[in-house]
Each structure stands twice: as structure tokens, then as C-alpha cells.
């Protein structure tokens, strides 16, 4: 079986803008491990979808901010730069143009980067939330024995079924305490 997923982006007025192939999967249905999406396929799907969606959103934002808000004149490109934006599904690198302000109104600066008003941080808020949530599961203490000082660098082993998107799942420690991460020294 061949499965092809496409991303169709439409304007707010309903006009279809772009159709992009996201992923094409050749799925076998003869064994249980072939049913549904594998973890690798789902990661690839979400990463590709995120990349296309973010790029389209940034392009649309730049299109709406590339003319003078006072007189409507197209703004001149002063320089090309690049930025990156970290999300739950990967890091996106994209162009961030520097535009010159129009001469119709006096401004404090001669140029600006429109994306700086949208991307006030290089990291998506959802990624920051998940990083904070996962780091709160890690116990920072000395796990060494008597007279032994070991680094507190540990590997979190989460029990099967733990999903970072489900806030009610918990992990267990190596001693079996529910609600705490299972730790192993490396």
C-alpha cells in the first residue's frame, strides 16, 4: 500500500495557494510491526510538516510587512541574513531580510528586520515548556556510595508509554517510586 500525505495551504478567503507533498510511505500490512506509523516515520512527518508550515507562515508575515504602513510603497532590501528557530519538532533555519524604512515618515532607525517583531525568542514557547517539564523530573544529587563522589550526570529511563505530550503520565525510579524518573549513572 502506498500512502501519500500532502499539505494544502489556503488563504483566509478560501483560495488554494500551495499543495506540497509531505511524505510518501510504502506500507506493508503482512506483519504487526508494519501497522500504523513507526516512530521514525512519525518524526519525519512532523518535522517536514513543521518546516513547511513555519516557512509558509514566515513568508506570509514578510509579505504583509514588506510595504510601508503609511504610504504602501514597497520597502527596499538592505541586507540578507539568516535566523534559526527551535521547535519541538526540530530547528528551522530561514532567511531574515533587513528592510530600509520608507522616506515618507521619519523613523528612529534607517532599517529594520520585520521578523524580529514576530520572533522575539529563538525558541518556541512549547519547547521551553517541555524542556522545563522534563528537567523537573531529573533529581540533582550525589548518587555515589560512601567515600565516592560521582558526577550527577544521569540518564533518564522512562517507563514504556510515557509521552511528553501527555501531562498525566509519570516515570518511576529504579527503586519503584511512582512519579519520579528512573535514574542510571553513566
Residues 103-157: tens digit of each pLDDT: 888 888 999 999 999 999 999 999 999 999 998 888 765 455 554 444 444 444 4
Query: Looking at the structure, do residues 18 and 42 belong to the same domain, yes or no?
Result: yes
For residue 91 the three cell numbers come to 530547528
Query: Looking at the structure, do residues 123 and 142 belong to the same domain, yes or no?
Result: no
pLDDT of 143 reads: 52
Looking at the domain assignment, is residue 48 inside a domain? yes
pLDDT of 8 reads: 85
Query: Looking at the structure, do residues 101 and 24 belong to the same domain, yes or no?
Result: yes
For residue 168 the three cell numbers come to 498525566
The residue assigned the cell 510511505 is: 25
Query: Looking at the structure, do residues 90 and 31 belong to the same domain, yes or no?
Result: yes
pLDDT of 167 reads: 40
Looking at the domain assignment, is residue 133 inside a domain? no
- pLDDT tens for 75-94 read 999 999 999 999 988 899 99
> Sorting pLDDT into bands at 50, 70 and 90, what band is 12?
confident
Q: Tell me how far apart the terminal alpha carbons of the chain are, to the nearest angstrom.
A: 43
* Contact by Cβ (8 Å): 88, 53: no
Backbone angles phi, psi at 63, to 5 degrees: -60, -40
Looking at the domain assignment, is residue 155 inside a domain? yes
What is the mean predicted confidence (pLDDT) over 43-65?
90
Query: Looking at the structure, do residues 29 and 113 belong to the same domain, yes or no?
Result: yes
Query: Looking at the structure, do residues 39 and 101 belong to the same domain, yes or no?
Result: yes
Query: Looking at the structure, do residues 160 and 75 belong to the same domain, yes or no?
Result: no
Query: Looking at the structure, do residues 98 and 18 belong to the same domain, yes or no?
Result: yes
Last residue of a domain, one of 109, 128, 147: 128
pLDDT of 159 reads: 40
Q: Which domain holds residue 110?
A: 2-128
Res. 101: pLDDT tops 80: yes
The phi-psi region of residue 176 (left if phi > 0; otherwise alpha if psi is between -120 and 50; otherwise beta) is left
What is the mean predicted confidence (pLDDT) over 55-83?
90
Determine the length of the chain: 186
Last residue of a domain, one of 128, 147, 166: 128
Looking at the domain assignment, is residue 59 inside a domain? yes
Res. 179: pLDDT tops 70: no
Query: Looking at the structure, do residues 42 and 68 belong to the same domain, yes or no?
Result: yes
pLDDT of 69 reads: 86
* Contact by Cβ (8 Å): 113, 80: no
- Produce one character per residue of 97-108: b if its CB has 16 or more CB atoms within 10 Å, e if not: bbbebbeeeeee
Query: Looking at the structure, do residues 148 and 180 belong to the same domain, yes or no?
Result: yes
Query: Looking at the structure, do residues 111 and 183 belong to the same domain, yes or no?
Result: no
Looking at the domain assignment, is residue 42 inside a domain? yes
Res. 172: pLDDT tops 70: no
Domain count, the chain: 2
Most confident of 2-11, 49-58, 157-166: 49-58
Query: Looking at the structure, do residues 182 and 101 belong to the same domain, yes or no?
Result: no
pLDDT of 131 reads: 92
For residue 159, which of 139, 138, 135, 178 has the smallest C-alpha distance? 178
Looking at the domain assignment, is residue 180 inside a domain? yes
Beta-carbon contacts of 159 under 8 Å, excluding residues fewer than 6 positions away, are: 171, 172, 182
Last residue of a domain, one of 88, 103, 128: 128
The residue assigned the cell 506493508 is: 28
Amino acid at each position: 500500500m502506498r500512502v501519500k500525505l500532502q499539505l494544502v495551504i489556503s488563504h483566509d478567503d478560501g483560495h488554494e495557494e500551495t499543495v506540497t507533498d509531505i511524505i510518501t510511505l510504502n506500507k506493508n500490512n503482512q506483519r504487526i510491526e508494519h501497522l500504523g506509523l513507526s516512530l521514525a516515520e512519525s518524526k519525519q512527518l512532523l518535522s517536514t510538516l513543521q518546516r513547511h508550515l513555519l516557512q509558509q507562515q514566515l513568508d506570509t508575515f514578510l509579505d504583509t510587512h514588506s510595504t510601508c504602513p503609511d504610504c504602501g510603497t514597497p520597502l527596499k532590501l538592505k541586507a540578507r541574513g539568516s535566523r534559526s528557530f527551535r521547535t519541538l519538532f526540530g530547528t528551522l533555519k530561514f532567511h531574515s531580510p533587513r528592510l530600509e524604512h520608507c522616506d515618507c515618515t521619519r523613523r528612529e532607525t534607517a532599517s529594520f528586520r520585520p521578523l524580529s517583531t514576530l520572533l522575539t525568542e529563538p525558541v518556541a514557547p512549547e519547547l521551553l515548556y517541555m524542556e522545563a517539564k522534563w528537567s523537573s523530573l531529573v533529581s540533582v544529587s550525589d548518587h555515589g556510595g560512601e567515600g565516592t563522589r560521582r558526577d550527577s550526570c544521569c540518564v533518564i529511563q522512562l517507563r514504556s508509554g510515557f509521552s511528553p505530550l501527555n501531562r498525566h503520565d509519570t516515570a518511576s525510579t529504579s527503586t519503584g517510586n511512582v512519579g519520579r524518573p528512573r535514574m542510571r549513572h553513566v
